[in-house]
Amino acid sequence: MSFRIPRISISLKLIFTVIIFALLLVVSSITVFRLSSDKKPRKHFEEFMRKFERNIVSNIGIPPDTLKAKEICDELGIEMRFDSPNMEWASDKKVPNIEDIFIPPHLRTRFDRGEPITVIHNSIPYSIFHYPEGIFIIQPLNPSSFFKPERAVIFMLIAIVIIITLLYLLLRYIFSPLKDLSKAVHQIGDGNYNVKVDTSRKDELGELAGSINTMSAKISNSVKAKEQLLIDVSHELRSPITRIKLGLELDSPKEKIEEDVNEMEKMVSSLLENYRADNTLADLKIDRTELVSLIEDTIAEYSANERIKFEKPNGEINFKCDADKLQIVFRNLIDNALKYSNGDIKISITEQLSEIWITFEDNGIGISDEDLKYIFEPFYRADRSRSRSTGGFGLGLSICKKIVDAHKGEIEIKSKINEGTKIFLKFKTEI
Ligand code: ADP
């Protein structure tokens, strides 16, 4: 049983990365904060408050000895205010007096009973001690006095270095194939088409690697096919040229020489015709065309038309298209079916809903699955030696595809070696 790695897109990977690192940041910030803070046991707070109260009273008395009170405030890093009908004193003007502090109702009763309470005012927790002689308001320690910024900075720096290193390593892993891909593209640019990039990654970069491999294989095939074509064309032209030269030397009859010249002309013009069709696709001459009679007209051009069986539908099928270009497609497909089979070839056309289907079927030699992958590439021929004898240049199907694409249609080939080939043309009626 083979294990399949699920495809995870790069964006998803980045999202995971950001989430993981955001979590790491939060956890490390909390840890840094904890490590750089002195632990103050909260449960002892009440007890601390009572001791504090006793200490204050015994040390500074009520009403307070302001000198002693100031001393204690400086020593502990706190601020204090005492309010009574006879005396108003504060270690710092910023400590609010009791009228300014809002005491919530649930604390009010405790305050009235004379118990110590803690009230938040302007985000600062004030401890309030209510005596019959007056009220003490105590502003607690400034947090910065127990926060160690230098420790925080060191821990933060360590955390940042670790996080950035991890982030760098992870991103380097995610984008590692990019280096190979760009190297491969450069090699292809330099004319080395035997490039193979690793496609094991299950994400967009893996897909891109696959596309680069296919692209280089296609370019390689196309270049090889062109080279082969050059060899084939020169070879094919050499025979009639040699015959003409010989004929001229031996004073052969004019007709023989004319025959050879015609053969050469046919070869060159078919090559040119295909190129021309390719280059004029941008300006299609779209006209309402009756396809059944267009197919019949095309069949009528063939002297061997008794081999072509057209399953003519009842009625007309109209389509807005460039009739001349479509005729090139029909001719190429009929030529191929006649060339690569000995029996009858079947042509049919149907219109259903808003789609027109035209099929060309033969029982000939067929095309292998491997060749089918490249069959629409210019100059690609399934079997070069075979095609030479049939006189093809491997341009027909590539031109057909371009014309069909220009009509926003589809061309599909189903073929089996030694069983035959069926080619489907599909067009949408509104183009
Ligand atoms: P060619 O001019 O060589 O026929 P095409 O582009 O029309 O060029 O076809 C490309 C190749 O596809 C051909 O060389 C041939 O090997 C194969 N082929 C095309 N049509 C058929 C068919 N009906 N039966 C078998 N092989 C075919």
Here the tokens at position 298 are 């095309």
383 within ligand 1 shell (Cβ under 6 A): yes
Cα(239) to centroid of ligand 1, in Å? Answer: 24
Count other C-beta atoms under 10 Å from residue 394's C-beta.
24
- Of 78-82, 223-227, 297-301, 383-387, where does mean pLDDT reach its minimum? 383-387
pLDDT band of residue 228 (cuts 50, 70, 90) is: confident
The 10s digit of each residue's pLDDT in 23-68 is 898 899 989 888 886 655 555 666 776 677 777 777 888 888 999 9
> In whole angstroms, what is the distance from residue 94 CA to residue 78 CA?
12
378 within ligand 1 shell (Cβ under 6 A): no
* Identity at 367, one-letter amino acid code: I
Cα(393) to centroid of ligand 1, in Å? Answer: 9
340 within ligand 1 shell (Cβ under 6 A): yes
- Across 191-195, average pLDDT: 88
332 within ligand 1 shell (Cβ under 6 A): yes
What is the enclosing helix (H) or strand (E) of 331?
helix 323-339
DSSP 199-225: ----SHHHHHHHHHHHHHHHHHHHHHH
pLDDT at 156: 87
Give yes or no for residue 295 having a pLDDT over 90: yes
* Identity at 365, one-letter amino acid code: I
pLDDT at 73: 87
The 10s digit of each residue's pLDDT in 366-410 is 999 999 998 988 768 777 555 445 566 677 898 899 899 989 999
- Which residue's CA lies nearest to atom 17 of ligand 1? 382
Our mutation pick for probing the ligand 1 site, out of 274, 336, 401, counting the most ligand atoms within 8 A of Cβ, is 336
Beta carbons of 161 and 83 less than 8 angstroms apart: no
- Name the residue with tokens 């069959």: 375
337 within ligand 1 shell (Cβ under 6 A): yes
Q: Is the dihedral of CA 32, 36, 39, 40 positive or negative?
A: negative
402 within ligand 1 shell (Cβ under 6 A): no
pLDDT at 313: 95
What is the side-by-side strand order in the sheet with 117-121?
88-90, 79-83, 134-139, 124-131, 117-121
Instruction: Give the DSSP letter of residue 7.
Output: P
228 within ligand 1 shell (Cβ under 6 A): no
How many CA atoms lie within 13 Å of 396's alpha carbon, on the beta-carbon side?
A: 20
Cα(275) to centroid of ligand 1, in Å? Answer: 17
pLDDT, mean over the chain: 85
pLDDT at 184: 92
81 to 128, 129, 163: CA distances (angstroms): 10, 10, 47
The 10s digit of each residue's pLDDT in 1-29 is 556 777 777 767 877 888 888 889 889 99
- Of 278 and 190, more confident: 190
Beta carbons of 139 and 80 less than 8 angstroms apart: yes
Give yes or no for residue 354 having a pLDDT over 70: yes
205 within ligand 1 shell (Cβ under 6 A): no
- Which residue's CA lies nearest to atom 8 of ligand 1? 394
382 within ligand 1 shell (Cβ under 6 A): yes
219 to 50, 190, 415: CA distances (angstroms): 88, 12, 24
379 within ligand 1 shell (Cβ under 6 A): no
Give yes or no for residue 279 having a pLDDT over 70: no
pLDDT at 39: 58
pLDDT at 388: 46
Cα(371) to centroid of ligand 1, in Å? Answer: 10
274 within ligand 1 shell (Cβ under 6 A): no
Give yes or no for residue 324 having a pLDDT over 50: yes
Of 274, 228, 249, 276, residue with least CA distance to 385: 228
394 within ligand 1 shell (Cβ under 6 A): yes
- Which residue's CA lies nearest to atom 2 of ligand 1? 392
- Of 272 and 340, more confident: 340
Cα(228) to centroid of ligand 1, in Å? Answer: 16
pLDDT at 45: 65
Beta carbons of 94 and 109 less than 8 angstroms apart: no
The 10s digit of each residue's pLDDT in 151-171 is 888 998 999 889 888 888 888
- Which residue's CA lies nearest to atom 4 of ligand 1? 392
The 10s digit of each residue's pLDDT in 90-136 is 999 889 989 899 999 988 998 998 888 888 888 788 889 888 889 99
pLDDT at 89: 93
Cα(382) to centroid of ligand 1, in Å? Answer: 7
Name the percent of the chain lying above pLDDT 90.
36
Cα(268) to centroid of ligand 1, in Å? Answer: 19
222 within ligand 1 shell (Cβ under 6 A): no
Here the tokens at position 131 are 């005596």
Phi and psi based region of residue 420 (left: phi greater than 0; alpha: psi -120 to 50; beta: remaining): left
> In whole angstroms, what is the distance from residue 381 CA to residue 401 CA?
15
Strand partners, 138: 80, 127
